[in-house]
């Protein structure tokens, strides 16, 4: 490691030279309280910015060990520091001037969810902190302006590090609240299975979002209130007693008139697999972390999936025990989504009629009389939902405002009434007696089989420069092959999408040998991440990428949507 003074003189020497001379700054420099690392230097002022890091010894940073000695607290601390450091960097971005990206300073932007990110890594043993961020090295035209870079590295950065990464200088009370919230959230998550619950929504929670493009809470929202028979009170370690709605295992139906807040509640449950930051409104909305939103996804590809639980005797004679298509219909796509979620180890389905294929969900009595069962390839979800719970232990929460069929199979029924849920289970069961249930034949069906294994896409093997490109939150492309993840609705952040892209690449190059099945591949990936960290799925030539941790369920979802296997 070199002293920071040598960086200073190096910068003086290369001023006004051609841009590539910046490359010589690569390396680690000692700045007394921290080390500045220059990992990657951009090729020109318009290219993606240079990649830097700050490394601080745990002793110097001074954060109490109890703030990072479990993974959920460490993640909360990392998230908080990324936000603090990001905020202080923001003040200086583009304060140094020049052409192209000159003077840009940026770090991963955190949203409403608290996610593990490669931007900030804290070692659970030593408390050593590493922050990764980007700096546009300043130039005039294409010649180096190193006096401006000196400002960034010798004035701005020390100021940011000092004010946001040392415990003694930050708002300790605020950080304590962050850690306490993480402990409370973790407490609820652990309590759910012990209490036989799939999810919890606290009274006072704010569920609706500002708009379709903003995840901030809606300002004028009606706060959540729990209906009586669903009410439970949990005694959180820091918050103390908190009352809210506990949704039991089994089959829960959410009904109600249009625009009364059904989908909003379901959406909050979908994202309740993550912890949310203070002020989000969904801090105490916690869902079984394995929950999967199931929806129709016309046009997706399906590879050798056993959808025979729902689809049989297709008119084209296709085998539905190992079903493949490049262009699935609404019902076959939703069937595949269910089966793949079972394979991914879910214990809770979340389904909204708004985004479901009707013929996958129900078939009413009259239709059964007109079109005989033998002529209908689809066994609707309503005929399987009970045994999925009883045999596979998978609960369902279903939003259905327009069909009463599910009344007969539901254990619990909620009605959303002007954004307030009411328990109507007893009332509905009484009313439903007058209406015959669509006959549900008690036929047995073969359990889906999960033996699928795929070899690596040959175009990638041996290709030294595979291009991975993230296309926002909804897709990425691997060597121009786009993988559409738009309908993995529980993806919360584009950095998760980036991570999925690299995970898919890594899995193919290292684990997909045609022998390991999909589950073994995903397990191998997560074992690697657990022992070596999320960044370990990045080959060294991709150091520039910021990743956020996806769930196992989304990794399965991503593998299942890649058309090149
Ligand atoms: P549904 O699925 O029952 O038709 P939505 O959940 O889509 O209804 O909600 C309809 C509208 O009401 C949305 O614009 C949503 O933001 C808003 N909304 C939902 N919950 C609340 C609430 N608690 N307070 C105020 N507005 C809400
Ligand atoms: Mg709706």
Ligand 2 centroid–CA 46 distance in Å is 44
Ligand 1 centroid–CA 398 distance in Å is 16
Q: Decide whether any atom of ligand 1 lies within 6 Å of the 225 Cβ.
A: no
What pLDDT score was predicted for residue 18?
Answer: 97
Q: Both tokens of residue 399?
A: 């939003």
Integer Cα distance of 248 and 239 in angstroms: 23
Mutate to test the pocket of ligand 1, among 226, 264, 350, 419 (most ligand atoms within 8 A of CB): 264
- For the chain, list residues with pLDDT below 50: none
Q: Which helix (H) or strand (E) holds 432?
A: helix 425-432
Integer Cα distance of 451 and 343 in angstroms: 10
Q: Decide whether any atom of ligand 1 lies within 6 Å of the 208 Cβ.
A: yes
pLDDT in tens, 406-433: 999 999 999 999 999 999 999 999 988 8
The SS3 assignment for 302 reads: strand
Q: Scanning the structure block, which residue is given the tokens 């959180």? A: 236
Max Cα-Cα span within the chain: 89
What pLDDT score was predicted for residue 70?
Answer: 97
Q: Which residue(s) pair with 120 in the sheet? A: 131
Cα–Cα distances in angstroms (integers) from residue 231 to residues 197, 199, 236, in the given order: 12, 12, 16
Q: Decide whether any atom of ligand 1 lies within 6 Å of the 172 Cβ.
A: no
What pLDDT score was predicted for residue 37?
Answer: 97
Ligand 2 centroid–CA 354 distance in Å is 6
Average pLDDT over all residues of the chain: 95
Q: Decide whether any atom of ligand 1 lies within 6 Å of the 496 Cβ.
A: no
What pLDDT score was predicted for residue 439?
Answer: 66
Integer Cα distance of 8 and 53 in angstroms: 17
Q: Decide whether any atom of ligand 1 lies within 6 Å of the 222 Cβ.
A: yes
Ligand nearest to the CA of 208: 1
What pLDDT score was predicted for residue 543?
Answer: 67
Q: Which helix (H) or strand (E) holds 385?
A: helix 385-392
Q: Decide whether any atom of ligand 1 lies within 6 Å of the 281 Cβ.
A: no
Q: Do 179 and 239 touch, CB atoms closer than 8 A? A: no
DSSP 298: T
Ligand nearest to the CA of 262: 1
User: Cα 14 to the chain's mean position, in Å?
Assistant: 43
Q: List CB contacts of 247: < 8 A, sequence separation 6 or more.
A: 197, 198, 199, 200, 201, 230, 269, 397, 412
Cα–Cα distances in angstroms (integers) from residue 464 to residues 41, 157, 333, 434, 528, in the given order: 21, 35, 34, 68, 22
Ligand 1 centroid–CA 264 distance in Å is 6
pLDDT in tens, 330-370: 999 999 999 999 999 999 999 999 999 999 999 888 888 88
What pLDDT score was predicted for residue 135?
Answer: 97
Q: How many CB atoms lie within 10 A of CB 469?
A: 13
Integer Cα distance of 527 and 98 in angstroms: 45
Task: Looking at the CA of residue 419, tell me the nearest atom of ligand 1.
Answer: 23
Ligand nearest to the CA of 260: 1
* 395-399/251-255 β-pairing: parallel
What pLDDT score was predicted for residue 442?
Answer: 60
Q: Which helix (H) or strand (E) holds 36?
A: strand 35-40
Ligand 1 centroid–CA 404 distance in Å is 21
Q: Scanning the structure block, which residue is given the tokens 């804290």? A: 122
Q: Decide whether any atom of ligand 1 lies within 6 Å of the 217 Cβ.
A: no
Cα–Cα distances in angstroms (integers) from residue 259 to residues 221, 255, 409, 516, in the given order: 13, 11, 24, 46
Closest CA to 465 of 478, 451, 484, 447: 478
Task: Looking at the CA of residue 206, tell me the nearest atom of ligand 1.
Answer: 23
Closest CA to 283 of 411, 112, 407, 424: 112
Domain architecture of the chain: domains with CATH: 2-170 (no CATH), 195-298+341-368+379-450 (3.40.50.300), 458-560 (no CATH)
Task: Looking at the CA of residue 256, tell me the nearest atom of ligand 1.
Answer: 3
What pLDDT score was predicted for residue 440?
Answer: 64
Ligand 1 centroid–CA 262 distance in Å is 7
Integer Cα distance of 543 and 545 in angstroms: 6
Ligand 2 centroid–CA 10 distance in Å is 61
Ligand nearest to the CA of 416: 1
What pLDDT score was predicted for residue 403?
Answer: 84
Task: Looking at the CA of residue 267, tell me the nearest atom of ligand 1.
Answer: 6
What pLDDT score was predicted for residue 542?
Answer: 65
């Amino acid at each position: 490691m070199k002293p920071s003074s040598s960086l200073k003189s190096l910068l003086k020497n290369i001023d006004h030279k051609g841009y590539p001379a910046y490359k010589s700054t690569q390396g680690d420099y000692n700045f007394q309280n921290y080390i500045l690392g220059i990992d990657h230097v951009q090729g020109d002022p318009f290219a993606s910015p240079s990649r830097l890091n700050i490394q601080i010894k745990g002793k110097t940073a001074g954060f109490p060990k109890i703030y990072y000695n479990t993974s959920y607290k460490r993640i909360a601390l990392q998230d908080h520091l990324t936000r603090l450091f990001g905020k202080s960097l923001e003040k200086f971005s583009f304060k140094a001037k020049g052409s192209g990206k000159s003077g840009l300073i940026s770090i991963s932007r955190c949203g409403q969810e608290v996610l593990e990110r490669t931007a900030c890594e804290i070692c659970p043993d030593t408390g050593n902190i590493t922050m990764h961020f980007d700096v546009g090295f300043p130039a005039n035209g294409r010649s180096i302006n190193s006096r401006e870079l000196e400002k960034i590295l010798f004035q701005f950065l020390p100021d940011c590090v000092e004010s946001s990464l040392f415990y003694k200088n930050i708002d300790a009370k605020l950080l304590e609240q962050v850690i306490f919230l993480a402990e409370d959230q973790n407490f609820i998550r652990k309590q759910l299975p012990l209490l036989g619950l799939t999810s919890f929504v606290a009274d006072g929670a704010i569920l609706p979002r500002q708009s379709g493009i903003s995840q901030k809470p809606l300002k004028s929202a009606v706060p959540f209130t729990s209906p009586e028979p669903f009410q439970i009170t949990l005694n959180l370690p820091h918050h103390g007693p908190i009352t809210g709605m506990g949704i039991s295992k089994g089959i829960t139906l959410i009904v109600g008139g249009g625009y009364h807040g059904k989908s909003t509640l379901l959406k909050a449950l979908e994202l309740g697999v993550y912890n949310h930051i203070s002020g989000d409104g969904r801090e105490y909305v916690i869902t079984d972390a394995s929950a999967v939103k199931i929806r129709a996804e016309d046009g997706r590809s399906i590879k050798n999936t056993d959808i025979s639980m729902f689809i049989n005797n297709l008119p084209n004679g296709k085998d539905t025990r190992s079903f493949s298509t490049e262009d699935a219909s609404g019902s076959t796509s939703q069937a595949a989504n269910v089966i793949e979620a079972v394979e991914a180890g879910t214990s809770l389905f979340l389904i909204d009629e708004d985004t479901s294929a009707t013929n996958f969900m129900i078939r009413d009595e009259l239709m059964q009389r007109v079109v005989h069962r033998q002529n209908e390839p689809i066994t609707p979800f309503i005929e399987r939902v009970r045994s999925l719970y009883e045999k596979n232990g998978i609960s369902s929460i279903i939003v259905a405002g327009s069909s009463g069929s599910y009344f007969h199979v539901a254990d619990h029924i909620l009605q959303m009434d002007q954004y307030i849920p009411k328990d109507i289970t007893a009332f509905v069961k009484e009313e439903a007696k007058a209406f015959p249930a669509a006959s549900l034949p008690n036929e047995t069906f073969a359990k889906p089989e999960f033996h699928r294994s795929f070899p690596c896409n040959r175009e990638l093997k041996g290709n030294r420069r595979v291009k991975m490109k993230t296309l926002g939150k909804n897709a990425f492309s691997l060597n121009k092959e786009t993988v559409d993840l738009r309908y993995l609705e529980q993806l919360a952040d584009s950095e998760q999408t980036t991570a999925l892209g690299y995970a898919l690449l890594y899995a193919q190059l290292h684990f997909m040998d045609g022998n390991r099945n999909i589950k073994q591949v995903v397990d191998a990936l997560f074992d690697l991440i657990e022992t070596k960290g999320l960044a370990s799925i990045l080959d060294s030539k991709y150091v520039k990428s910021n990743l956020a941790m996806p769930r196992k369920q989304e990794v399965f979802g991503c593998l299942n949507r890649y058309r090149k296997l």
